[in-house]
Each structure stands twice: as C-alpha cells, then as structure tokens.
C-alpha cells in the first residue's frame, strides 16, 4: 500500500492525554479512497474488519457513477456508510483553471501542493475514429520532470515531486465527471475512451503510483478500459520497461526523437545512461510473442520534428536501420514551440518527405495533428509557461541568450 493510503485518522497519544490543549490538535486527515487500486482497497476494508467485496462496490460508485458522497452509495449499509464518512473521503485534486476549446479539446490545471509551481495539467482531445468518437486523455505523472530533454518545456521546470495515485486517477475521474455533472447519478457513463501517459513527467520514474493507477484504469470495477487503449509513454527508462513486462499489459510508446546516440544524447539526455541499443532491445523484450489479444504487438515510436536538427533524409534512413527488427508504428510530432525554445518546427514539406521515406520502407508512419492550440493544450506546452520558475530554467535561459549572442556577433 502506498503512503498516501495509510490511515491518519488516529489521534496522537499527546492529543489523547492532553484534553486541555485542543487548539494544538492537528486537523484529522481522512483517507482518500479515490486513488486506491482494488487490491489496496480490499486490504483497507479487511483491515477495518469489513468484507473485501465492499471494495468493488465502493469503487463502482467512485469511478463509474462519479459519486463523492458516501450517503449516495445506496447498496452499502447505513452503518458502514457512517463509518466511512468518519475516516475516509473521495477527493479529486483542486481544479484551478479549466478551458474547453471550440474544437472539443478540454484542459484542466490542477493544484497539487502549496508552492507556486505545484500545478499539473490534463488535456482531453476528441477525435472521430472508424470505431466511433474517441476521447483521449493525456495524463500527467509528476510535477515537472528531472530528465531535461532539450525540446520539452516540462523538462525546463526541473523536477518538483511525484504525483500520488489520487492525483493521477483524479485526472481521469475529473475528465469523465465533466461530461456527467448534470446527469442523474444512476444514468452516468464513462466518457473517456483512451488514456495516454504523455502529460508532465516521466511515468516510469514514478513507477508504483503509475502502475497502480493504470491497474485501476483497466479494472472492470473502475474504468474497465481496454489494455490497447491505455498507453504509457517513456523517454527510455530501460529497467522499468522490463519491470512492466512482468507487471502489466498496456500499450508502450517510446520518445525516440533521434536515430543515433550522438544526437539522442543531446536531445534526450537519459540516452547517456540507456543508449539506443539497450532501449531497442528492451522494446523487443516488451513485445509479446504470444496471443493476438495482447496490446504488446508493436511499440509506438514518437519523433518530434525539429527544424534542421533531426529531420534530414539521412535521419530517416538511420531510423529505418534502427527499427528494422522492432515491430513499430511511427508518430511524427510537429514541434510545439515555447518561450526561449532553442528549436523551430520542421516545415510541412520536410515532415511529409520524412514520412514518405519511412512509409516507402514499409513502416506505418503518421503525423500527429496539433490540436488545442487555442488553449495552449498542445503537447509539450503543459503548464510550462505558468510554472517556469526553477533555478535551472533561469540558468537555461541565460545559456540560450548567450548562445544567441554569439550567433548574432558571428553575423
């Protein structure tokens, strides 16, 4: 059980022995049930002396009917409801900003702590698909990120902290709830069809909370999502990719961005620790050899198109070689600029010819549509402009300014 679900409702010894000091009592913190996975909630109920099937019932109320008040859980006895009300709560992170775009994109900014920069963002992008309307939610896993990829505004903020399970699942809960607020409880449905762990942060560096949250996404007592519709995106934390093979079956996306180690070391610094050969081998291990039902038939390769940096024809040729033994689908992402970014977006023609080279070599290669530009919800723009206050960001801005100065003086 993660630390977030440890019961803190017990009054301390000092408080019990000192009735004359009520003003010094700490407020009694309730246990937030929102983030608990089913095994965690079953244990919680058993520890309380209750039957463990209660966990499934409560989870359905929370994640399928979006109920936050125990009084509304009508198949649970009044006595248990009262008990739960005393020591538990169902609490999503605080929404400090929401914006619903004309194109259907929705964005929420959540406050997850006291500091000025303790904000994370969640974006929902709708799209028509053969199988009907898709609503894909892009979920954050950390406040900031330690990995400092050179084209990413989240990386420029530095790392602040991991999100806990309630804060991760809370993003999915809130997005679903936003469509159902005015619908009577028993008629409520789940609206989000797909999840991508592609918001702020490196999900594999917050492994346990992300794993438990993805289990809740797949759980029939909660969101019941198909494993092919939950995608984890990583910049390449190799040992954790291997750990995932043992722990969960979801779709995997790799932020590749460069087809050789020299360039990738520069763009995605974690490559120095886990170079391409190791990363590709881990992806091969992730691909399941058995069963058509698996979500592990291929990996998605993400490749941000940076003007003049990684978009040359020779880079496309290197990609073909690198990926020849890895079942993969390639997604080219037009770079989303942010203030002080040292890169520009590759031209449309450049992106299309890059795509053609890869398609001609037999790869499925798509170009990501940039959506939600009118509300700053595009990839890599998450909260960046709001919370860019760390020392690293300042140093980095100085570095870029100095580089620009040198270029200017060279004419």
104 token code pair: 């259907």
Q: CB-wise, 37 or 142, nearer to ligand SF4? A: 142
What is the biggest distance separating any 2 CA atoms in the chain, rounded to whole angstroms? 80
365 is in an annotated binding site: no
Least distance (Å) from ligand SF4 to the CB of residue 209?
16
270 token code pair: 């974690």
283 is in an annotated binding site: no
CA-to-CA distance for 251 and 287, rounded, in angstroms?
Answer: 10
CA-to-CA distance for 372 and 22, rounded, in angstroms?
Answer: 51
Q: Which of residues 223-242 bind ligand SAH (CB under 6 A)?
A: 233-235
- Bridge-based pairing state of the strands 88-89 and 94-100: unpaired
149 is in an annotated binding site: yes
140 is in an annotated binding site: no
CA 118 vs. chain centroid, Å, equals: 16
Choices 42-50, 112-120, 244-252, 330-338 (CB under 6 A): range interacting with ligand SAH: 330-338
Residue 148 contact, options ligand SF4, ligand SAH, none, Cβ 5-8 Å cut-off depending on partner type: ligand SF4
- Provide CB contacts within 8 A for 48, sequence distance 6+: 83
- Binding to ligand SAH by residue 379, rule CB under 6 A? yes
Q: Which of residues 253-272 bind ligand SAH (CB under 6 A)?
A: 255
12 token code pair: 């301390």
336 is in an annotated binding site: yes
Of 143, 146, 102, the residue nearest 126 (C-alpha): 102
Q: Is residue 314 among the annotated active site residues?
A: no
CA neighbours within 13 Å on the CB side: how many for 411? 0
- Binding to ligand SAH by residue 121, rule CB under 6 A? no
Residue 303 contact, options ligand SAH, ligand SF4, none, Cβ 5-8 Å cut-off depending on partner type: none
Least distance (Å) from ligand SAH to the CB of residue 188?
30
Q: Contact 40/1 with Cβ under 8 angstroms?
A: yes
- Binding to ligand SAH by residue 311, rule CB under 6 A? no
Residue 121 contact, options ligand SF4, ligand SAH, none, Cβ 5-8 Å cut-off depending on partner type: none
- Binding to ligand SAH by residue 152, rule CB under 6 A? yes
Least distance (Å) from ligand SAH to the CB of residue 203?
6
329 token code pair: 């689908």
Q: Is residue 121 among the annotated active site residues?
A: yes
Residue 336 contact, options ligand SF4, ligand SAH, none, Cβ 5-8 Å cut-off depending on partner type: ligand SAH
117 is in an annotated binding site: no
88 token code pair: 């538990």
- Provide CB contacts within 8 A for 108, sequence distance 6+: 95, 97, 98, 121, 122, 171, 174, 175, 178
CA neighbours within 13 Å on the CB side: how many for 383? 33
Annotated catalytic residues are 121, 379
Given the rule CB under 6 A, which residues bind ligand SAH?
A: 151-152, 198, 202, 233-235, 255, 302, 304, 333, 335-336, 379-380
Annotated binding site for S-adenosyl-L-methionine: 201-202, 233, 255-257, 336
Binding residues for [4Fe-4S] cluster: 145, 149, 152
């Amino acid at each position: 059980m993660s630390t977030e679900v440890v019961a803190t409702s017990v009054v301390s010894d000092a408080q019990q022995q000192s009735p004359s000091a009520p003003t010094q009592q700490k407020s009694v913190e309730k246990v937030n049930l929102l983030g608990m996975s089913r095994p965690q909630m079953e244990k919680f109920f058993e520890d309380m002396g209750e039957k463990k099937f209660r966990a499934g019932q409560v989870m359905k109320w929370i994640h399928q009917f979006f109920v936050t008040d125990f009084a509304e859980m009508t198949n649970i006895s009044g006595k248990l409801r009262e008990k739960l009300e005393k020591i538990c709560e169902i609490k999503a992170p605080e929404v400090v900003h929401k914006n619903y775009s004309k194109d259907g994109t929705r964005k929420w900014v959540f406050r997850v702590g006291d500091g000025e920069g303790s904000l994370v963002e969640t974006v929902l992008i709708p799209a028509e698909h053969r199988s009907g309307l898709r609503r894909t939610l892009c979920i954050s896993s950390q406040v900031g990120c330690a990995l400092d990829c050179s084209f990413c505004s989240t990386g420029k903020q530095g790392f602040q902290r991991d999100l806990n399970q309630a804060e991760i699942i809370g993003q999915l809960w809130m997005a679903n709830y936003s469509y159902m607020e005015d619908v009577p409880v028993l008629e409520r449905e789940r609206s989000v069809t797909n999840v991508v762990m592609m918001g702020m942060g490196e999900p594999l560096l917050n492994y346990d909370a992300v794993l438990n949250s993805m289990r809740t996404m797949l759980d029939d007592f909660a969101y019941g999502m198909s494993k092919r519709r939950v995608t984890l995106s990583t910049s390449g934390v190799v040992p954790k990719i291997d750990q995932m093979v043992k722990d969960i079956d979801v779709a995997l996306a790799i932020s590749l961005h460069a087809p050789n180690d020299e360039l990738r070391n520069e763009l995605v610094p974690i490559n120095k620790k886990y170079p391409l050969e190791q990363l590709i081998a881990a992806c091969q291990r992730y691909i399941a050899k058995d069963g058509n039902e698996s979500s592990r038939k291929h990996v998605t390769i993400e490749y941000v198109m940076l003007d003049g940096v990684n978009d040359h024809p020779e880079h496309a040729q290197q990609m073909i070689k690198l990926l020849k033994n890895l079942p993969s689908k390639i997604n080219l992402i037009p770079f989303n600029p942010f203030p002080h970014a040292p890169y520009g977006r590759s031209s449309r023609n450049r992106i299309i010819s890059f795509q053609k080279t890869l398609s001609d070599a037999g790869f499925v290669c798509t170009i990501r549509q940039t959506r939600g530009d009118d509300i700053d919800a595009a990839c890599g723009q998450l909260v960046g402009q709001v919370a860019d206050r760390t020392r690293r960001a300042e140093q980095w801005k100085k570095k870029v300014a100095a580089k620009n100065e040198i270029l200017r003086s060279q004419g």
